Structure 1
Amino acid sequence: MKILSLRNRPLNISGRMIGAVQLGVLAACIVVLVPMGLAGYHLSRNKVLFFSGALFISLAVAVHLSPYFPTLTDFLPSLSSSSQSSSSSSSSTLVLLQNRDSCISLLHRIQWMHHQTPNLNLSHSWSWVLSDEDVIACDFQKIGRKDAGDLLSGSWVVIAGDSQTRFFTLSLLDLILVEDEMLSVRGDLFKRHSDYHLDVDRLGLRIDFIWAPYETNLTQLVGELSKNQSFPDVLVMGSGLWHMLHITNSTDYAESLEGLASSMAPFVASVRVPDLGSVSSSSQPHLFWLGMPMLISSMLNTEEKKEKMTNVTQFAYVRGLRSANLLPPNGPFVLLDMQSLSENCGVRCTEDGMHYDGVVYEAAVHIMLNALLIQSQQKL
């Protein structure tokens, strides 16, 4: 879009207007000064009547002459523009601070569309619910490869957890990397129970996936980062599935998460502004928690999973997460709600009742990137 500057435009004041102004001043002298002089001569003994008459005549003349006088902003467009810009900037910043938390809470307002391909396969797509006025006001957007690269350029991103976070990492890389760069990623990233590291030199971007299926693994990772005073710009964590399968104790899970929350103190360096919410400092990592997806017991691939990973057990684990001071209002992590995303996409989006089609993790990635834009007060 080409913006035309007002600086190169001549002020629209012609000789005819100047002549009109001169004639108006002359008329004012005749219409105002002469009657006022006569009134003063005859009404010198009644000063109240004199000044009332003078004021009436002056106002009448001013009303008739005002169309001939340009406003101050016509002579000083830059002053008007600067004032409006400053006012708009100040107002928009205030609105942003006031609405930031509410916009983040609306990020999961997503609707799913299911399409049958010509070969009778089923594909899925998603969008934000654009019939919701609040969602429209937040201006969420699917972020393209270039913009995603620009947003994360020069950053260090750490993603730690179980297989869900591994799929999330794959979706993030699939968005950022070009096709040639993705050729070797999938095989290396999905080596069983292993870490993965990638440097994207063209973006100055470093991405680390840390295999950490238990909450104690995550706490240990946080301790190592804190000890080294080496904090990533973006930290995504998620766990619960392994604990649910191998330990199956929601109380122990909640206590382990509370220990993780306590270990996060060095990561949290926010400044609280009264009535405007939390404003992140430039050095504070952006923290996200990847929640567990909806589990469909009948589709799980082993009898042990069907027995232990039930809806009742999952509900208890989700309740443990909510009580562990990891998520707002008392915790530092923004929730990437995989349960909501997977449940809304439905049974058609999974083959094993636990891991979902890539489009579900893609939606979670875009939610995170939009949250980053909101937190950092940026606009693409």
Structure 2
Amino acid sequence: MLGGVQLGLLAACIVLFVPMGMAGWHLSRNKMLFFSGALFISLAIGVHLTPYIPSVSDFVTTVSSVVVFDTRASCNSQLHEVVWEVKQSDEFNPLSNNSVNYEKSWKWGRSAPVIVCDFQKFDPMDAADLLNGSWVVVAGDSQARLIALSLLDLILDSQRMGAIRGDLFKRHSNYQIVIDESGMKLDFIWAPYASNLTDLMAEFKLNLSYPDVIIMGSGLWHMLHFTNASDFQLSLDSLRRSVVSLIPSTPNLDSEAPLTGSISTRTPHLFWIGMPTLINSMLNTEEKRKKMTDLMKVAYDESLRKSKLLRSSGGPLLLLDIETLSWNCGVRCTVDGMHYDGVVYEAAIHIMLNALLIESHQKL
């Protein structure tokens, strides 16, 4: 809500500049003093009476809320404005895979809207503080597993990560860890199909046990094993209904609008892991190259849009746009045309953490 200080400054500006404008029209000194005094008195009275006039007070509150809403929604829409630097490494070896020959780094762009949002790269302590005591669930296929790895890699030191990697990457398995220092619990759930995710949401609802953050994604396995975009959309439709029923109090699901007000509430913060850019010529099996084509990828992306699962189409989940991140990092950031270097998922984790900051009204 606008306070008396802000309105007082507005009044002062009017009192200062309106008489100056009048002077430009050659009004006499006495008339200028009259108008200046009248304006000052009127505005001063208005500032003090505003809280006692319901309609005016409500209007001011509404305008203030719209401004805050627009700022937060606008910053959510700028989260993926990331620029990459990919350069040849000092130990370049033309006989080895392209990916290991290049050093990659990223940062947010410097456009005016991005600068205003003041996005931050988190250090381990800040990330642990933000997720302190939270239950984080990452569910999906290999892309989700890489997201879970990147989140843990940010929070934990290299020695502990060395012990974790083997367990986390056991084929088609779940993984769970509790980080004692922050009390954060992370569950990785192997759920390669949208129907698996729907079952997981139903389990949360049945148990009345809701994670603080849910990061999930699906599509690659369905594209490879079913190759049917229409069927994929049906499964996403079912998932959307399940997610919406999971939310204790479903808000107005506007485009890119923050879903909840605080990370400490039991309403989960919901994120969708978008499918990566697929480089067909680099896919490592003939079946993948045949089925996972550019045309099929476009059809699956359209099915996701039509399902209204994402906030950009009126749904509950905020997109972690791996496709954009991987496309901009480029062919030198992948070994197999499907799974990208850790730096791509690192960027996605920082985007997710900044979205949590926006939604919980916090600053680093």
- Band the TM-score falls in, shorter-chain normalisation: 0.7 to 0.9
Q: Quick one: percent identity of the two aligned structures?
A: 55
Q: Do structure 1's residue 336 and structure 2's residue 316 form an aligned pair?
A: no
Matches of 1:187 and 1:180 in 2, distance apart? 13
Q: Do structure 1's residue 203 and structure 2's residue 182 form an aligned pair?
A: yes
Report the alpha carbon displacement of residue 94 of structure 1 after superposing the two structures with TM: 6.1
The CA deviation string for residues 275-322 of structure 1, in whole angstroms up to 9 with x for no partner, is 995561532110000000000110000000000000000000000001
**What is the identity, as a one-letter code, of the residue corresponding to 1:107?**
L
CA RMSD of superposed structures (Å): 2.4
> Which residue of 2 is the match for residue 115 of structure 1?
87
| Runs of 5+ consecutive residues of structure 1 not aligned to the other structure | 1-55, 60-89
CA contact (8 A) 2:77 2:256 kept: no
**What is the identity, as a one-letter code, of the residue corresponding to 1:288?**
F
For residues 93-242 of structure 1, what are the structure 2 equivalents within 5 Å? Answer: 95-120=67-92, 121-130=101-110, 132-242=111-221
Q: Do structure 1's residue 306 and structure 2's residue 306 form an aligned pair?
A: no
**What is the identity, as a one-letter code, of the residue corresponding to 1:101?**
A
The CA deviation string for residues 246-270 of structure 1, in whole angstroms up to 9 with x for no partner, is 0000000001000000111233224
> Which residue of 1 is the match for residue 330 of structure 2?
346
TM superposition score normalised by structure 2: 0.77
Q: Do structure 1's residue 255 and structure 2's residue 255 form an aligned pair?
A: no
CA contact (8 A) 1:98 1:276 kept: no
Matches of 1:163 and 1:301 in 2, distance apart? 15
Name the SS of the counterpart of 1:217 in structure 2. helix
**What is the identity, as a one-letter code, of the residue corresponding to 1:296?**
I
> Which residue of 2 is the match for residue 285 of structure 1?
268
The CA deviation string for residues 46-68 of structure 1, in whole angstroms up to 9 with x for no partner, is xxxxxxxxxx9xx9xxxxxxxxx
Matches of 2:105 and 2:117 in 1, distance apart? 21
> Which residue of 1 is the match for residue 339 of structure 2?
355
Matches of 1:359 and 1:101 in 2, distance apart? 26
Structure with the greater alpha carbon radius of gyration: 1
| Runs of 5+ consecutive residues of structure 2 not aligned to the other structure | 1-29, 34-61, 93-100
Count of matched residue pairs = 294
Report which structure shows greater RCO (CA 8 Å, sep ≥6).
Answer: 2
Matches of 2:245 and 2:130 in 1, distance apart? 25
The CA deviation string for residues 331-376 of structure 1, in whole angstroms up to 9 with x for no partner, is 1000000100001111111010000000000000000000000011
**What is the identity, as a one-letter code, of the residue corresponding to 2:88?**
Q
Matches of 1:248 and 1:228 in 2, distance apart? 34
> Which residue of 2 is the match for residue 295 of structure 1?
278
- Cα distance change on mapping 1:154 and 1:253 into 2, 3 Å: same
Matches of 2:320 and 2:257 in 1, distance apart? 20
Name the SS of the counterpart of 2:316 in structure 1. coil
CA contact (8 A) 1:237 1:290 kept: yes
The CA deviation string for residues 15-74 of structure 1, in whole angstroms up to 9 with x for no partner, is xxxxxxxxxxxxxxxxxxxxxxxxxxxxxxxxxxxxxxxxx9xx9xxxxxxxxxxxxxxx
**What is the identity, as a one-letter code, of the residue corresponding to 2:104?**
H
When structure 1 is superposed on structure 2, of 236-245 and 279-288 the one drifting more is 279-288
**What is the identity, as a one-letter code, of the residue corresponding to 2:335?**
E
Q: Do structure 1's residue 378 and structure 2's residue 345 form an aligned pair?
A: no
- Cα distance change on mapping 1:228 and 1:173 into 2, 3 Å: same
Given candidates 351, 368, 380, the residue that maps to 2:352 is 368
CA contact (8 A) 1:173 1:182 kept: yes
- Cα distance change on mapping 1:206 and 1:277 into 2, 3 Å: closer
Name the SS of the counterpart of 2:186 in structure 1. strand
**What is the identity, as a one-letter code, of the residue corresponding to 1:283?**
R
> Which residue of 2 is the match for residue 325 of structure 1?
308
CA contact (8 A) 2:128 2:155 kept: yes
CA contact (8 A) 1:297 1:310 kept: yes
Matches of 1:157 and 1:284 in 2, distance apart? 12
Name the SS of the counterpart of 1:143 in structure 2. coil
TM superposition score normalised by structure 1: 0.73
